[in-house]
Amino acid sequence: MIEVEDVSFSYPDGRQAVRGVSFRVRPGETVGLVGPNGAGKSTLLLLLNGLLGVPGRTGRIRVGGIEVEKSRLSAVRRKVGFLFQDPDDQLFCPTVGEDVAFGPAQLGLSEAEIAERTRRALASVELEGFEDRIPQRLSLGEKKRVCLAGVLACEPEALVFDEPTANFDPRGRREFIRLCRKLPQSKLIASHDLEMILALCGRVLVMDRGELVAEGPAAAILGDEPLMLAHGLEKPHSLLHPHPHGKMPVVEK
Ligand code: ADP
């Protein structure tokens, strides 16, 4: 679903943020992307839907089989939905309903289809009946779910999340994780919240200084303390003190 082949990227000031990165996300797979600040995670995510320009980039990126290049950006953006860290960057309409409908409206759908997709998307993030609410007056958790509904309303095949649980309170975080578990799309999730990554992701990629330095099953990678420490990360608590019954008490069902 996402194919990244030997991708490097330098910002216009010459700073090389991504160096020779290759990986794949298979259909339906949820993959975590971890690494210290400045590792190049956000840059890599922005390259995936062409938000960062192809000048400065080498290598090949395909999403749902479509090459990420200037002439195909609208097709790419139909395949992959982005959830940014700060919901205030993503919400700009006077009401929740208009915000969620914005994406589908760009796809040239009928009014009835737009309304139906908006209703379905709000239901899938458990915000039924929020259409007339004012985005700015919602809690962070609710705003984030409205953003997710806006992304889902475009019916993408892959989802890319940048720090989805940043600044959440524990309940908001648990609810978000529970909702994400129900989404069938392929997902790539960049975060410092390693417990969330462990709860959602089968596989994890570790980036440091622009390079992909490790890749493997989430518990094996995140549980590798020397690897975590070598790249400015910490082994998650739930792996330091495994639950006596072998279950990880990370997220309540
Ligand atoms: P992460 O998301 O892992 O914290 P980033 O992708 O934000 O890492 O940053 C990777 C590197 O690229 C860092 O060295 C950062 O300073 C640099 N960088 C990020 N944005 C820009 C920019 N707009 N111009 C120049 N350098 C940038």
Pocket perturbation via mutation, ligand 1, pick of 7, 18, 43, 191 by most ligand atoms within 8 A of CB: 43
- What's the pLDDT score for residue 85? 86
| 85-97: pLDDT as tens digits | 888 888 888 999 9
Q: Is 252 a residue whose pLDDT tops 70? A: no
What lies within 8 Å, CB to CB, of 81 at 6+ separation is 151, 152, 154, 156, 158, 159, 160, 185
CA of 69 to the centre of ligand 1 (A): 21
Q: For domain 29-41+80-240, give the CATH number.
A: 3.40.50.300
Ligand 1 site, residue 51, Cβ cutoff 6 A:
no
Q: Is 73 a residue whose pLDDT tops 90? A: no
State the distance between the two ends of the chain, measured CA to CA, in whole angstroms: 28
Ligand 1 site, residue 15, Cβ cutoff 6 A:
yes
DSSP per-residue letters across 41-73: HHHHHHHHTTSS-STTEEEEEEETTEE-SGGGH
Q: Is 28 a residue whose pLDDT tops 60? A: yes
Q: Is 250 a residue whose pLDDT tops 60? A: no
| 88-137: pLDDT as tens digits | 888 888 999 999 999 999 888 999 999 999 999 999 999 999 999 999 99
Q: Is 253 a residue whose pLDDT tops 60? A: no
Please, which residues bridge with residue 25 across strands? Answer: 2
Q: Is 16 a residue whose pLDDT tops 50? A: yes
Residue 141 or residue 204, greater confidence: 204
Q: Is 72 a residue whose pLDDT tops 90? A: no
- The number of beta carbons lying within 10 Å of the beta carbon of residue 108 is 8
CA of 45 to the centre of ligand 1 (A): 11
Mean pLDDT of the region 18-32: 97
Give the range among 17-31, 36-50, 74-88 with minimum mean pLDDT. Answer: 74-88
Q: Is 248 a residue whose pLDDT tops 50? A: yes
User: For the chain, what is the radius of gyration of the CA atoms?
Assistant: 18
Residue with tokens 């475009």: 154
What lies within 8 Å, CB to CB, of 3 at 6+ separation is 24, 60, 61, 62, 63
Q: Is 150 a residue whose pLDDT tops 50? A: yes
- What's the pLDDT score for residue 90? 82
Pocket perturbation via mutation, ligand 1, pick of 11, 45, 191, 206 by most ligand atoms within 8 A of CB: 11
Mean pLDDT of the region 165-192: 93
Q: How many percent of the chain have pLDDT more than 90?
A: 75
Per-residue confidence at 182, pLDDT binned at 50, 70, 90? Answer: very high
Q: State the closest ligand 1 atom to the C-alpha of 190, by its place in the atom list counted from 1.
A: 2
Q: State the closest ligand 1 atom to the C-alpha of 13, by its place in the atom list counted from 1.
A: 25
Q: Rounded to whole angstroms, how far apart are CA atoms 229 and 120?
A: 43
Ligand 1 site, residue 35, Cβ cutoff 6 A:
yes
For 6, list phi and psi in degrees, rounded to 5.
50, 50
Q: Is 155 a residue whose pLDDT tops 80? A: yes
- What's the pLDDT score for residue 242? 60
Name the pTM for this structure.
0.91
- What's the pLDDT score for residue 159? 96
Q: Rounded to whole angstroms, how far apart are CA atoms 56 and 54?
A: 6
**3-state SS, residue 32:** strand
How many helices and strands, by DSSP H and E, does the chain display? 10, 10
